[in-house]
Amino acid sequence: MTEKEKKEYEELKRKCLHFEQEFRRLQYNPVYFLEKYYNKLEDPIETNDKDKQAIFDKFNKGVAPYFDDFNEAMKFTDKKKSLEEKGHKDWEVHDILFSGE
């Protein structure tokens, strides 16, 4: 593989990873979808935090991650708790934890 082909391949891998991360966010976070995409394509829906929480609760069916070991699960739980204590809203916590970033 030439250097040019290696660079093109690495760029393709980067784009695919970004696509997967973005799709995961859209798939599991209705508030993110509303703000990032829907409101740009359609007449915007004005929402406050109460509306966003209602949307999140209606469409988020409690996605639970799979962990290979207990330590990973504890790190996840600690990070979630820390974000909540800092005042992040449910949909923000979800986006941070599940975006893959």
What per-residue confidence (pLDDT) applies to 78? 94
Q: 89 is in which domain, residue-wise? A: 3-98
What per-residue confidence (pLDDT) applies to 8? 95
Q: Are 83 and 98 in contact (CB under 8 A)?
A: no
Report how far apart, in Å, the C-alpha atoms of 2 and of each of 11, 76, 80 are: 14, 41, 44
State the Cα–Cα distance between residues 90 and 87, nearest whole angstrom: 9
What per-residue confidence (pLDDT) applies to 66? 80
What per-residue confidence (pLDDT) applies to 100? 60
Q: Are 80 and 59 in contact (CB under 8 A)?
A: no
Beta strands in 1-101 (DSSP E): none
**CA dihedral in degrees (49, 32, 54, 63; nearest 10)?**
-130
pTM of this structure: 0.68
What per-residue confidence (pLDDT) applies to 61? 72
- 1 SS3 class: coil
Number of domains in the chain: 1
**DSSP assigned state of 5:** H
What per-residue confidence (pLDDT) applies to 62? 67
If the chain, 101 residues long, is cut into consecutive pieces of 10 residues, what is the mean pLDDT of each piece? 93 92 84 92 94 91 79 91 95 82 53
